[in-house]
Structure 1
Amino acid sequence: RTSQLRDIWLLGRRGPLQAAFSPAELREFLELAEADVIVEKNELELDAESQKILENNVNNDTKKNIEILKKISEKEVSGKKRRVHIIFLTSPVEISGNQKVEKISMVRNQLVKMEDGSLVPQASAEINEAAAGLVFRSIGYYGKPLSDLPFDQKTGTIPNECGQVKDSEEGNILREREYVAGWIKRGPSGVIGTNKQDAVETVHRMLGTFLKGKMEAGKNCTNLDIVSLLENRKVEYVSFSDWKLLDAHETEAGQKKGRPRVKITSKADMLSVIRQKKQLKIQ
């Protein structure tokens, strides 16, 4: 709230139809208390190929994104102290200044259709310059492959069906007892709530597979006591009762500041709080 930032420009190298954000993420821009969000109507003008895709071959999330962007473009600026400008088909090409960021040069892109039918951004001859004092790069998340697991190099995800890992090179055979959730499952999109739904889907598939196969809990396991196993390996684990100590600490800290909680984000700090709380219980 004390920041001196007044204008924030979000640049996307591709068009609005190719934007990777989810409707849930985009809707949050409509709820910013201290900033107007601005999308010029010309930014939503689609090229012929993108228009064809929108009309014939696009998923519901993309349609919702376009609808929300149109809603933003029609919304009047209310005079809030900050403005967020969303710009498509634009890439930064040079950042300049004397010992600090002072100016940024940007190129206007155009979408070019490739042999496989995909549309990729290609720089045009149009260059624009603008004053700038701070630049952040956000190039997205790309998953890393794990040994003995299939991996989709194009999407950076582990191929799966509702969270159950599948071998796409082996006729999409589903692997038993191998599951994924989160960004490595679906790619970098969504908000915290999306991850919860994502995890629920995976757990449902796990339970369904468990029941369908009539698997017995602990069958073929050489060590039934996970706590003993972790202790033998000198792993500092967190039990549910330990987590409840951390949860109580965060909630109590939040109440003192009129907030639901004060979240501890460092793993080392989390473990330190749990150790202290457990020690107090012993005393």
Structure 2
Amino acid sequence: MPRPVRVAIVGAGPAGIYAADALLKSELAADPGVSIDLIERLPAPFGLIRYGVAPDHPRIKGIVTALHQVLDKPQVRLFGNVDYPNDLALEDLHRFYDATVFATGADADRDLPIPGIDLDGSYGAADFVSWFDGHPEVPRTWPLEAEQVAVLGVGNVALDVARILAKTADELLPTEIPPNVYDGLAANRAVEVHVFGRRGPAQAKFSPMELRELDHSPTIEVVVDPEDIDYDEGSIATRRANKQADMVSSTLENWAIRDVGDRPHRIHLHFFENPVEVLGEDGRVVALRTERMRLDGQGGSVGTGEYREWPVQAVYRAVGYRSDELPKLPFDALTATVPHRAGRVLENGTHLPSLYVTGWVKRGPVGLIGHTKGDANETVACLVEDQRAGRLLAAADPAEDAVVAHLRERGTDFTTWEGWQLLDAHEKALGGAQGRERVKVVERDAMLDASASDLRTP
């Protein structure tokens, strides 16, 4: 009698869960059936939603409700606190599963090769986001002594960094931030945050809603220089073709012509300023040097040869995320992605049987969370096609309890979907005691204890 197709998905963030959902909706779900294990390095699922979205954006975190519905399916299991390749190596995945989909995302900062970027006081935005989101693998404290701060980049992550730096700790207290983050932000000395983009308003990558929300805080004054409102033919064409770009440009125009108020903290949005060097003294950041840019007629920008120095004591680069290399898988260092064709992992142009990718490790860190659904559908379609054609490498030990026995033998303290529900209830109870929806647990051991993880369960 045919057995279900066994599929491992490495990464239990949105990309991995969307892949599980696509498998459950594929023809494999009916005949011969599909059994899915989500393998997650952290004790809790949801990846970017839990550890990459600012705590004052609960609307975006609402996506978790839809992801819950997938993980509630009986064909899906979660193995949290399980690391690839230390707890499950590639040969183990081939042994227990007929196919493996890697959905490990992108949570490292892209490099910005300018002089001084490695000075003390220069940080990656991804690291800061991980800190204020309570990631268990980052330090519990963050240096927030700078009064003037530069943020490099004009995307939503740059907005998140600028907003968290400019808001007061008490404004963020109603959110799920853990105590160490509240204490750190309460000591934050930033009063001016400068956000820099090298092109114009029409080329900014902000989402219109996130941009407008920047102005909602009673403690933050958003300032735009009227001289930065400029468009060439390429920019005008972009506004006509892209409703979001037009909305962003209109918001920035309105801010540029209004009177500047007296709120205690300010976020300055600068355009046509290209960061060229971080300046330092005694090894620490003291200023940022930028070159003034101008539009080239096509929506791009060229340097004018005019330079300016901005006194700042900290610099955050928000110029994009990159994926980490996955051991024993091919990797394109230039794009920081796994080479693939429609989701099939390629080595020297040849598909490595039973191996697939989806999400940002497949296509790079572009697009919104919802865009990963299309990635998942494409990848799963290839996996289903390969299964129907007999191209999958059949698992040598496909019994569902085989991987459990392997992890127990290794002494891996793994968590489960039921464990997440316990942790979820625990965090909500912590929040309820303070009149908040949730207080996030940060320490890995505390997460495991609250999850009653497998090896800790009598």
- Give the structure-2-normalised TM-score: 0.46
The answer to whether the aligner puts 1:256 opposite 2:433 as a matched pair is yes
The answer to whether the aligner puts 1:128 opposite 2:308 as a matched pair is yes
Deviation at 1:10, TM superposition (A): 0.8
1:141 is aligned with what amino acid? Y
Partner of 1:14: 199
Deviation string for 1:2-50 (max 9, x for gaps)?
Answer: 54432211112333344344445434324334212222232130345x3
Change (3 A) 1:245 1:88: same
Deviation string for 1:197-242 (max 9, x for gaps)?
Answer: 24544555566667777869x9933222232233344433211111
1:7 is aligned with what amino acid? E
Greater CA drift, 229-238 or 58-67: 58-67
Distance in 1, matches of 2:384 and 2:450, equals: 39
- Structure 1 stretches lacking a partner, 5+ long: none
- Structure 2 stretches lacking a partner, 5+ long: 1-167, 169-185
Distance in 2, matches of 1:33 and 1:184, equals: 39
The answer to whether the aligner puts 1:222 opposite 2:396 as a matched pair is yes
Partner of 1:37: 222
Deviation at 1:180, TM superposition (A): 1.3
Tell me which stretches of 4 or more aligned residues in structure 1 moved more than 6 Å.
Answer: 210-214
Tell me if structure 1 keeps the 8 A contact 2:345–2:357.
no
Change (3 A) 1:13 1:118: closer
Partner of 2:26: none
Deviation at 1:258, TM superposition (A): 2.0
The answer to whether the aligner puts 1:184 opposite 2:361 as a matched pair is yes
* Number of residue pairs the alignment of both structures matches: 266
Deviation at 1:164, TM superposition (A): 3.8
The answer to whether the aligner puts 1:79 opposite 2:262 as a matched pair is yes
Deviation string for 1:98-142 (max 9, x for gaps)?
Answer: 7865544432134569xxx894654x3312234334333334323
1:48-127 equivalences under 5 Å are 48=233, 50-51=234-235, 54=238, 59=242, 61-74=244-257, 76-90=259-273, 91-96=275-280, 101-110=285-294, 119=300, 121-122=302-303, 124-127=304-307
1:116-195 equivalences under 5 Å are 119=300, 121-122=302-303, 124-146=304-326, 148-149=329-330, 151=332, 153=334, 155-158=335-338, 164-165=343-344, 178-181=356-359, 183-188=360-365, 194-195=368-369
Change (3 A) 1:232 1:55: same
Distance in 2, matches of 1:158 and 1:60, equals: 32
Greater CA drift, 87-96 or 269-278: 269-278
Deviation at 1:247, TM superposition (A): 1.1
Tell me if structure 2 keeps the 8 A contact 1:165–1:180.
no
Distance in 2, matches of 1:136 and 1:105, equals: 14
Q: Structure with the greater relative contact order (CA < 8 A, sep ≥ 6): 1 or 2?
A: 2
Residue 135 of structure 1 aligns to a residue whose secondary structure is: strand
Tell me if structure 1 keeps the 8 A contact 2:280–2:287.
yes
Distance in 2, matches of 1:101 and 1:206, equals: 44
Deviation at 1:82, TM superposition (A): 1.2
Distance in 1, matches of 2:385 and 2:237, equals: 40
1:37 is aligned with what amino acid? V
Deviation string for 1:174-201 (max 9, x for gaps)?
Answer: x9762312x43454457xxx43x24544
1:136 is aligned with what amino acid? Y
Residue 32 of structure 1 aligns to a residue whose secondary structure is: coil
Tell me if structure 2 keeps the 8 A contact 1:110–1:121.
yes
- Give the structure-1-normalised TM-score: 0.69
Distance in 2, matches of 1:20 and 1:188, equals: 13
Change (3 A) 1:20 1:157: farther
Distance in 2, matches of 1:53 and 1:240, equals: 48
2:423 is aligned with what amino acid? L
